Structure 1
Amino acid sequence: MTSGSHEGLVIHDIHGSPDAETVLLSSGLGGAAAFWKPQIDALLHAGFRVIAYDQRGTGRTGGTLPSPYSIAHMAQDVLELLDATATSHCHFVGHALGGLVGLQLALDQPTRVASLALVNAWSKPNPHSARCFDARLALLDHVGPRAYVEAQPIFLYPAAWAAEHAAQVAAEVDHAFAHFPGADIMKARIAALRAFDVDARLGEIQLPVLVSAAQDDVLVPWTCSQHMARGFPHARIDTLPHGGHAHSVTEADAFNKHLLAFLLHATRRQVMV
């Protein structure tokens, strides 16, 4: 693995051969490359080059955000990352907010995206997720960052899984609190994802698309994925009955199996074209 950054570039990790097809991993609201740890070995074993990065304002990248901040700014960071790493195109895998970044990039720079995998993502706002974000912002404003991060596992994980992995969840909460980016940055990131709406443009995305969802996601209704999949010209939807918003973590083996099958098919299709 190599890690790197240029001045102004998001900090990123590169795994695998420079000659292999690249999978770029973009995480959700937390923004950290480490979210994808359950996928990296499987992707490398399948022969892919993997790039994961810490989003601007978060993790190792840190820094300030432009105002008003938007998903388009996040997509521009990815484009600059592709340029800096000599990556002509990538298979883009995005979780939640990361999926929105992939949608924006596919609309803005379609030649740079070979395929798109969207994990518990959405194409337009919905009232249930809005209610969840209102509650999280209220905790942040009126109780503070510790309460905000303590509530995070409730939205990420099924209750039974969180109870069974209590030590892991506690360690994640402590880490999130120790590396909390600040209320202003968190609010700007939440505002960006809440404003995102490309529902009317899904038909423009002619790429192979995998839509992956867990039916017990308490933050984003899985029906958002179902609706989104219907809007793409070339999409398949894979759903799991359990796993929560972070089912790529809680049901990693099943998720990886579906993701690799999609990526290998997309790669073969690309070679044929």
Structure 2
Amino acid sequence: MANEVFALDQGQGRAVLLVAGLGGQAAFWQPTVAELSGTHRVITFDHPGVGGSTLDGTPTIPGIVEAALRLLDQRDLESVHVVGHSTGSLVAQSLALDHPQRVKSIVLSSGWAQPDKRFEDFFAYRKLLLERLGGAAYTALTRLVAYPSEWYGEHFAVAQALDFEAPSAVDVPMVAARIDMLLGYSRKAELADIRRPTLVVGAADDYVIPYHHAQELAGLIPGASLRELSGGHFTPVTRTTGFAALLRDFWEAQA
């Protein structure tokens, strides 16, 4: 039996597919969807094994690609603009390389071509903290490093001390497996074969995926454009209006 994929299909207009990062949930994109759905048909989904989507087995990037293609087939969409954030950028790269006929363009947001040693060490640390201290401590670390200080102060800071042992909805084994998934995947040697319009978006204040990864990506993909949008690792959330404007301008250039 095929895995079930939870998806949201909102708005009208040219179809765009938004692929979330390590968290893998369609809900990540709701601020961006609110900006775009007045002019675009925006499709988002929970990755297999995350949220409302089922998974029998181990999470893989090809498995997420397959889920995305199934969503397009179900909607009779021959090709769409694809936006991949962080881990989702690996999915967008793979779609452009392996299924170019299904892709009008790709946007790689806070993405990378290949993990370097600092990347490997940081994500190994995140995984160790997750497995030893649990979901609450993992979520606290993510918020501390992935959002700008001002955003953290406005949206997450509380007067009392953080409770690192609080109950958490984080699926520890699944998140650990997804960290392994991204650490073991790279198409760097093939990126020069991408022949779809490409926009790379990075943030100078992104501690999770530093800006030099965006610079490397843009240099490896023929004709790729590079834009900097400071806002930490989650610019689609922290700089939603600016992020959506970059997408619109890029897509308009393809019209």
Normalized against structure 1, the TM-score is what? 0.86
Unaligned runs of 5+ in 1: 1-5, 269-273
Aligned with 2:248 (options 260, 264, 269): 260
- C-alpha deviation, 1:42, in angstroms: 2.2
> Is residue 239 from structure 1 mapped to residue 239 from structure 2 by the alignment?
no
> Is residue 14 from structure 1 mapped to residue 5 from structure 2 by the alignment?
no
Q: Which amino acid aligns with 1:265?
A: A
Match of 1:35 in 2: 28
- C-alpha deviation, 1:132, in angstroms: 1.7
CA distance, structure 2, for counterparts of residue 186 and residue 166 of structure 1:
22
CA distance, structure 2, for counterparts of residue 247 and residue 127 of structure 1:
24
Residues 33-112 of structure 1: matches in 2 within 5 Å? 33-45=26-38, 47-61=39-53, 63-67=54-58, 69-112=59-102
> Is residue 160 from structure 1 mapped to residue 150 from structure 2 by the alignment?
yes
Q: CA RMSD, aligned part only?
A: 2.3
Q: Judge conservation of contact 1:128–1:220 (CA < 8 Å) in 2.
A: no
Q: SS of the counterpart of 2:37?
A: helix
- Deviating beyond 4 angstroms after TM superposition, the runs of 4 or more aligned structure 1 residues are none
Question: Residue 7 and residue 178 in structure 1: after superposition, are their counterparts in 2 closer, same or farther (change >3 A)?
Answer: farther
Question: Residue 223 and residue 65 in structure 1: after superposition, are their counterparts in 2 closer, same or farther (change >3 A)?
Answer: farther
Q: Judge conservation of contact 1:123–1:196 (CA < 8 Å) in 2.
A: no
Unaligned runs of 5+ in 2: none
CA distance, structure 1, for counterparts of residue 62 and residue 113 of structure 2:
14
- C-alpha deviation, 1:178, in angstroms: 4.6
Q: Judge conservation of contact 1:12–1:54 (CA < 8 Å) in 2.
A: yes
Q: Percent identity?
A: 34
Q: Judge conservation of contact 2:136–2:168 (CA < 8 Å) in 1.
A: no
Q: Which amino acid aligns with 1:25?
A: L
CA distance, structure 1, for counterparts of residue 186 and residue 3 of structure 2:
27
Match of 1:271 in 2: none
- C-alpha deviation, 1:41, in angstroms: 2.5
- C-alpha deviation, 1:65, in angstroms: 4.5
> Is residue 220 from structure 1 mapped to residue 212 from structure 2 by the alignment?
no
Aligned length: 251
CA distance, structure 2, for counterparts of residue 145 and residue 179 of structure 1:
7
CA distance, structure 2, for counterparts of residue 202 and residue 252 of structure 1:
28
Q: SS of the counterpart of 2:208?
A: coil
Structure in which a larger fraction of residues adopt helix: 1
